[in-house]
């Protein structure tokens, strides 16, 4: 990928299925590649030869373009949708994979896109050095805290903390995927980490949701985890991946 073009998986219009902006309509720009390999990941890990571009927002009339996709093409697509369908999108989700791996490209792309809509960055919350270079061009940050029981990673706490210290200057919330093996100490450590920066930052407990929208974790266990986190934080919500219920991407 050169500085003015991006390796993408897809660009489309849909509802945000997770977190605080759940249900709002967004333009999704999904970057390929990630610096992690979480156990529950359902994203294609490798670069794909083609990117799927939606022609009409929300109609799934995709066509293929070869990667990498030029920045100009993305900006023209978003500006065209804004002209043709004014007001339907709340913001642009920059997602992945891990989009911060493309931080140099994002320095060029985000200011151009932000001319049309606010920028919502979805990230695994590790690459704080790269975030620092982009914060001025971002409106919302959705960052993960990866739990050992669901992601398989045990040593990301320090990186998450440094990331959240930076992201806290924006409209930021923390999302963590919980599962049947998640233990109380993981919820406590997550809540303590967030509270040490700002106890008003929302924490979303996201029960692992399979591709058909099924959640295995019991309601009682979810409520127990919420009670545990609420001892440290003002706003703890339980939100599954809702877009899977209606068969959306």
Q: Is 36 in the site for ligand SF4 (CB under 6 A)?
A: yes
**Closest separation in Å from C-beta 98 to ligand SF4:** 5
Residue in 5, 22, 25, 43 binding ligand SF4, rule: CB under 6 A: 43
Closest CB to ligand SF4 among 97 and 179?
97
Structure tokens that stand for 203 in this block: 């924490």
Rounded to 5 degrees, φ, ψ at 188 are: -65, -45
Q: Is 210 in the site for ligand SF4 (CB under 6 A)?
A: no
Rounded to 5 degrees, φ, ψ at 68 are: -80, 155
**Closest separation in Å from C-beta 131 to ligand SF4:** 14
Q: Is 10 in the site for ligand SF4 (CB under 6 A)?
A: no
Which region, judged by CB under 6 A, interacts with ligand SF4, from 31-39, 79-87, 101-109, 156-164? 31-39
181 is in an annotated binding site: no
Rg over CA atoms, the chain:
18
Using CA atoms, how far apart are residues 18 and 203, in angstroms rounded to an integer? 12
**Which residue in 40, 44, 36 sits closest to 249, CA to CA?**
44
**Closest separation in Å from C-beta 125 to ligand SF4:** 9
Using CA atoms, how far apart are residues 247 and 211, in angstroms rounded to an integer? 9
Question: In this structure, how many other beta carbons lie within 10 angstroms of the beta carbon of residue 184?
Answer: 11
Q: Is 37 in the site for ligand SF4 (CB under 6 A)?
A: yes
Using CA atoms, how far apart are residues 173 and 168, in angstroms rounded to an integer? 8
**Residues 106-165, interacting with ligand SF4 (CB under 6 A):** 124
Which region, judged by CB under 6 A, interacts with ligand SF4, from 22-30, 53-61, 91-99, 107-115? 91-99
**Which residue in 123, 171, 113 sits closest to 146, CA to CA?**
123
Q: Is 240 in the site for ligand SF4 (CB under 6 A)?
A: no
Half-sphere exposure of residue 89, counting CA atoms within 13 Å on the CB side?
A: 28
Beta strands in 161-230 (DSSP E): 171-178, 203-207
Q: Is 97 in the site for ligand SF4 (CB under 6 A)?
A: yes
102 is in an annotated binding site: no
For 124, 144, 151, 191, the CA distances from 188, given in Å and listed in that order, are: 19, 15, 17, 5
Closest CB to ligand SF4 among 190 and 228?
190
Q: Is 38 in the site for ligand SF4 (CB under 6 A)?
A: yes
Q: Is 98 in the site for ligand SF4 (CB under 6 A)?
A: yes
Residue in 96, 99, 179, 207 binding ligand SF4, rule: CB under 6 A: 96
Closest CB to ligand SF4 among 81 and 217?
217
Give residues in contact with ligand SF4 (CB under 6 A). Answer: 34, 36-38, 41, 43, 96-98, 124
């Amino acid at each position: 990928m050169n500085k003015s073009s991006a390796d993408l998986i897809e660009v489309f219009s849909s509802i945000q299925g997770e977190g605080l902006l759940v249900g709002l309509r967004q333009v999704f720009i999904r970057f390929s590649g990630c610096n992690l390999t979480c156990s529950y990941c359902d994203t294609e890990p490798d670069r794909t030869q083609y990117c799927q571009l939606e022609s009409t927002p929300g109609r799934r009339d995709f066509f293929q373009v070869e990667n990498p996709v030029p920045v100009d093409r993305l900006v023209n697509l978003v500006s065209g949708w804004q002209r043709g369908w004014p007001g339907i999108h709340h913001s642009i989700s920059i997602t992945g994979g891990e989009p911060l791996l493309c931080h140099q490209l994002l320095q060029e792309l985000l200011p151009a896109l932000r001319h049309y809509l606010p920028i919502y960055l979805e990230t695994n919350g590790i690459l704080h050095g790269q975030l620092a270079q982009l914060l001025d061009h971002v409106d919302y940050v959705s960052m993960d805290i990866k739990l050992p029981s669901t992601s398989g990673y045990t040593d990301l706490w320090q990186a998450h903390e440094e990331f959240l210290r930076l992201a806290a200057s924006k409209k930021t919330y923390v999302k963590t995927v919980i599962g049947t093996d998640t233990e109380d100490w993981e919820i406590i450590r997550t809540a303590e980490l967030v509270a040490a920066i700002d106890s008003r930052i929302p924490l979303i407990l996201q029960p692992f949701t399979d591709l058909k929208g099924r959640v295995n974790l019991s309601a009682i266990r979810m409520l127990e985890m919420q009670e545990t986190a609420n001892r440290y934080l003002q706003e703890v919500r339980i939100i599954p991946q809702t877009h899977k219920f209606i068969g959306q991407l």
